């Protein structure tokens, strides 16, 4: 049974319950902002459940309340988070609100959810693939974003993932079903998302590439009873990632002849490098105040994790730095234009090109493509008609190379000049002009038949490469 609960207005006012500290108030505000239908968090040794519901009191206008429920993990043990448990949670939401004379009309993001659940009409999932793929990503420290316009299916999917993850939940995970994206969630199922989407629950299709197959393999591997017994009770996400990789490599199911493929997968996906990315996820509770923040001592809270206040300070500092850098770039651009104009005047009025009988030297140039830049120039993209050579062993050059000049780290979209194959793995590489080699810089953020979105940290010559398929592809 839960330890405490709280009911809050959208303005953060506590209506009922004993859970009313500033952390709970701030979390309630975030659940309202994203219109969350289901919030599950197991961070900091506590199980937190939450939801935003539409309510009405007799004689008053309809309103939206947020319900939160907290349960301490005694001895690291969690209740079984299955559909029955979640149905019980929604029943408690209705009961607690009825005690203060409010009727729950429905979830804030839906008009038929409770009616469907009461009539036992529950949307079944097509199969375990999508859930296994998601489990594989989460235990390896990778956030997952899904989209779905069916709320019942969204709840079913999150609960299915929570069931499969049950032994590892004490390591700290946050899973949210919401109308809009919930920042900091490890698994977020939203109605719409403008960025990269890992799974569309309407089709439940996952990556068909080697990367997708490895994530699904990891998802089924960690559900083995033997692995569960070995790794249950771990309370650190980074430790969990390291132990799972170690157990997988040492298991009889690990193909020893493909260890290189697995190591490349870990490197490409940035898994197990400098700790798990999950160490930097938002904590279950976040303070409402944006004032001074005092970092807790390790003796009080264990390993300190970066929170949103730190990120906000870094963002402000970065924005100030970028403003200064943009100012310097504008100044340099003005100076460069003046130098070019003075050079032109000198050429036409001081040096007579026809005075000398010598022929002008032949200048070999690379023909650039049209450059399209935003209103405020932050990136200049030039397509090279002749890409540099020295293609890395085992890779194929994909399309053109680009000379990209950026004013700071940012995502850049370039046109695809070759046929995109979604079954292949693609990587972004930067040309090292001093060593005449290509250096790995990550994987594309998003790819389609027409374009590729890539993250560019600094200026240079970049090109996409794909894995070579022996016997069919040729190096370019």
Of 33, 64, 26, the C-alpha closest to 48 is 26
Same domain for 62 and 167, yes or no, is yes
Mean pLDDT of 219-240: 91
Residue-level pLDDT at 335: 77
Give a yes or no: residue 291 inside a domain.
no
Domain boundary among 325, 356, 387: 356
Same domain for 74 and 213, yes or no, is yes
Same domain for 114 and 204, yes or no, is yes
Same domain for 146 and 225, yes or no, is yes
Residue-level pLDDT at 277: 39
pLDDT digit string (tens) for 364-413?
444 444 444 444 457 888 888 878 888 888 888 888 999 998 888 889 99
Mean pLDDT of 172-197: 92
Q: Which of 3-12, 30-39, 65-74, 107-116 has the lowest mean pLDDT?
A: 107-116
Give a yes or no: residue 198 inside a domain.
yes
What is the percent of the chain with per-residue pLDDT over 70, rounded to a whole number?
Answer: 76
Give a yes or no: residue 373 inside a domain.
no
Mean pLDDT of 13-37: 91
Look at 39 and 58; give whichever has higher pLDDT.
39
Same domain for 384 and 351, yes or no, is no
Mean pLDDT of 311-322: 51
Same domain for 345 and 388, yes or no, is no
Give a yes or no: residue 210 inside a domain.
yes
What is the percent of the chain with per-residue pLDDT over 90, rounded to a whole number?
Answer: 41
Residue 27 CA to its chain's centroid (Å): 20
List the CATH number of the domain containing 412: 2.60.220.30
Look at 336 and 385; give whichever has higher pLDDT.
385
Same domain for 39 and 160, yes or no, is yes
Same domain for 390 and 445, yes or no, is yes
Question: Domain limits at 44?
Answer: 4-277
Mean pLDDT of 242-271: 87
Same domain for 137 and 238, yes or no, is yes
Q: How confident is the model at residue 145 (pLDDT cuts 50, 70, 90)?
A: very high
For the chain, the domain total comes to 3
Residue-level pLDDT at 121: 55
Mean pLDDT of 334-345: 74
Q: Which of 92-106, 290-304, 377-391, 404-418 has the lowest mean pLDDT?
A: 290-304
> Could you tell me if 466 and 472 are in contact, meaning their C-beta atoms sit under 8 angstroms apart?
no
Q: Round to whole Å and give the CA distance between 46 and 27.
A: 14
Q: Round to whole Å and give the CA distance between 26 and 29.
A: 5
**Who contacts 244 (Cβ-Cβ below 8 Å, separation ≥6)?**
139, 140, 218, 221, 222, 227, 231
Residue-level pLDDT at 257: 76
Give a yes or no: residue 361 inside a domain.
no
Give a yes or no: residue 372 inside a domain.
no
Domain boundary among 277, 297, 325: 277
**Who contacts 39 (Cβ-Cβ below 8 Å, separation ≥6)?**
31, 48, 49, 50, 51, 174, 175, 176, 182
Residue-level pLDDT at 322: 60
> Could you tell me if 182 and 188 are in contact, meaning their C-beta atoms sit under 8 angstroms apart?
yes
Same domain for 247 and 340, yes or no, is no
**212 pLDDT higher than 50:** yes
Look at 117 and 267; give whichever has higher pLDDT.
267
Give a yes or no: residue 237 inside a domain.
yes
Same domain for 72 and 150, yes or no, is yes
**166 pLDDT higher than 50:** yes
pLDDT digit string (tens) for 54-65?
999 988 899 999
Residue-level pLDDT at 70: 93
Residue-level pLDDT at 34: 92
Same domain for 237 and 140, yes or no, is yes
Give a yes or no: residue 296 inside a domain.
no
**105 pLDDT higher than 80:** yes
pLDDT digit string (tens) for 348-357?
655 555 544 4
**363 pLDDT higher than 50:** no
Residue-level pLDDT at 313: 44
Look at 439 and 288; give whichever has higher pLDDT.
439
**Angle, helix 237-250 to helix 259-268, in steps of 10 degrees:** 160
Q: How confident is the model at residue 298 (pLDDT cuts 50, 70, 90)?
A: very low
Domain boundary among 295, 321, 356: 356
């Amino acid at each position: 049974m839960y330890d405490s609960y709280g009911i809050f207005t959208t303005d953060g006012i506590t209506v009922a319950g004993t859970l009313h500290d500033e952390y709970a108030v701030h979390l309630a505000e975030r659940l309202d902002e994203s219109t969350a239908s289901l919030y599950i968090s197991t961070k900091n040794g506590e199980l937190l459940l939450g939801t935003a519901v539409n309510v009405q009191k007799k004689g008053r206008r309809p309103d939206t309340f947020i319900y939160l429920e907290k349960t301490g993990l005694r001895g690291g043990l969690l209740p079984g988070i299955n559909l029955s448990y979640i149905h019980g949670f929604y029943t408690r939401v209705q009961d607690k609100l009825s005690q203060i004379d409010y009727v729950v009309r429905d979830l804030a993001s839906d008009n038929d959810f409770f009616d469907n659940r009461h009539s036992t009409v529950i949307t079944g999932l097509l199969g375990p693939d999508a859930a296994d793929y998601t489990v594989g990503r989460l235990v390896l420290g990778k956030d997952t974003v899904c989209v779905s316009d069916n709320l019942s299916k969204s709840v079913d999917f999150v609960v299915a993932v929570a069931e499969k993850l049950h032994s590892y939940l004490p390591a700290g995970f946050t899973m949210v079903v919401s109308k809009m994206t919930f920042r900091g969630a490890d698994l977020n199922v939203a109605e719409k998302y403008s960025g990269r989407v890992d799974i569309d629950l309407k089709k439940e299709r996952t990556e068909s590439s080697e990367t997708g197959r490895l994530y699904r393999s990891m998802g089924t591997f960690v559900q083995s009873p033997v692995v569960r017994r070995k790794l249950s009770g771990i309370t650190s996400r980074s430790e969990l990632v390291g132990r799972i990789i170690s157990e997988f490599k040492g298991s009889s199911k690990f193909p020893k002849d493909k260890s290189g493929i697995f190591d490349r997968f870990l490197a490409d996906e940035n898994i197990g490098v400098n700790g798990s990315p999950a160490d930097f996820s938002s904590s279950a509770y976040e303070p409402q105040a944006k004032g001074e923040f005092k970092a807790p001592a390790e003796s009080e809270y264990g390993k300190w994790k970066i929170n949103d206040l730190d990120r906000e300070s870094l963002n402000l500092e970065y924005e100030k730095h970028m403003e200064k850098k943009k100012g310097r770039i504008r100044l340099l651009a003005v100076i460069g234009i003046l130098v070019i104009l003075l050079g032109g005047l000198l050429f036409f009025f001081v040096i007579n090109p026809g005075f000398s009988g010598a022929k002008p030297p032949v200048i070999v140039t690379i023909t650039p493509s049209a450059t399209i830049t935003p209103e405020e120039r932050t990136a200049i993209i030039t397509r090279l008609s002749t890409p540099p050579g020295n293609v890395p062993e085992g890779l194929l050059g994909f399309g053109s190379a680009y000379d990209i000049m950026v004013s700071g780290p940012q995502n850049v979209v370039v046109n695809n000049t070759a046929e995109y194959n979604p079954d292949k793995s693609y990587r972004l590489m930067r040309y090292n002009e001093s060593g005449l080699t290509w250096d790995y810089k990550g994987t594309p953020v998003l790819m389609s038949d027409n374009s590729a979105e890539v993250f560019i940290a600094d200026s240079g010559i970049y090109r996409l490469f794909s894995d070579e398929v022996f016997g069919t592809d040729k190096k370019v």
